[in-house]
Amino acid sequence: MNDDFSVDAADQTLRGTVTGNAAGDAPSVLALHGGGQSSRRGIQYLLSALARDGVASASFDFSGHGDSTGQVEGSSLNERMAQALAVAGHVAPGRLLSLIGTSMGGHVACSLIERLQPPALVLFCPAAYVAPAQDAPFGPSFQQILRSTVDYASSPAFTALEGFEGRLLLVHGTQDAVIPAQVLDQYERRARRAESVEVVRLEGAGHKLHDWLQSRPPDHGLVLDAVLRTLAPGARRQSAPGGISFT
């Protein structure tokens, strides 16, 4: 069952959805979408599947995306962090939330590790940005920083990930032309204190992983297995094999 909600954050109204399970549990997971034309709708196929296996979640549109108010241009990574914190406080006051982050949402999720102490992180094709990009307004200033970045090792996302002690799942495509290989390598190597790290490589997939998975049920099933292992270690599903390698 899906229940829509609204949260005020600064001068914006953020709109989201709680995807509930059969038991009516409060959300234990918060999903953060990426940039561009993305919204909370892109991952709903996965959140609905998680709910059927007992995991309730929440998702929302960052300002300027989907049903939320505002403009993307002029917003920033720091504002996205503040918006995610506002939603977390609304859907799970005083409770821990695991985080699912896609692309830019992966960087935001890692930036929230210290504040939210998530038990688990699931990152789809996660991006990473250097410190000067944190408060740079989206638009020409932000793009200039991206164009001039050649070394991502000092990204605040990786610094935060080094202190993460929960369960980590990384999912990316072997044909991703957006996320540099060195970024994915850093995500794999920097989670030194994590309870567990699992990497799922989708053979032949590009950057739009959720679109790709929705058209490939066997691969979707295997990814769902991995997500369940990370978010709810006791949960299991039966799935047919697909074009995925695990490490």
pLDDT digits (tens, 9 = 90+) for 89-130: 999 999 999 999 999 999 999 999 999 999 999 999 999 999
- How far separated are the first and last CA of the chain, in Å rounded? 34
For the cut 80, the answer to whether the pLDDT of residue 235 exceeds it is no
For the cut 90, the answer to whether the pLDDT of residue 178 exceeds it is yes
pLDDT computed for residue 237 by the predictor:
56
d(CA 228, CA 99): 13
Spatial contact of 110 and 121, defined as CB atoms under 8 Å apart: yes
Instruction: From 12, 116, 10, 139, select the one nearest 58 (Cα to Cα).
Output: 116
pLDDT computed for residue 239 by the predictor:
39
Sign of CA dihedral 57, 226, 80, 215: negative
For the cut 60, the answer to whether the pLDDT of residue 171 exceeds it is yes
pLDDT computed for residue 1 by the predictor:
82
pLDDT computed for residue 228 by the predictor:
97
Confidence band for 233, pLDDT divided at 50, 70 and 90 = confident
For the ranges 20-34, 149-163, 177-191, 223-237, which has the lowest average pLDDT? 223-237
pLDDT computed for residue 80 by the predictor:
98
* Half-sphere CA count of 108, side-chain side, radius 13 A: 26
* Structure token digits, residue 245: 């390698």
The residues that bridge with 15 in the sheet, in sequence order, are: 6
Measured CA distances, 7 to 13, 59, 67, 182 (Å): 6, 12, 12, 36
Average pLDDT over residues 167-192: 96
Average pLDDT over residues 195-223: 96
Spatial contact of 190 and 161, defined as CB atoms under 8 Å apart: yes
pLDDT computed for residue 236 by the predictor:
57
For the ranges 61-75, 189-203, 228-242, which has the lowest average pLDDT? 228-242
Q: Which residue has the higher pLDDT, 131 or 23?
A: 131
Confidence band for 29, pLDDT divided at 50, 70 and 90 = very high
Spatial contact of 220 and 244, defined as CB atoms under 8 Å apart: no
Average pLDDT over residues 201-224: 96
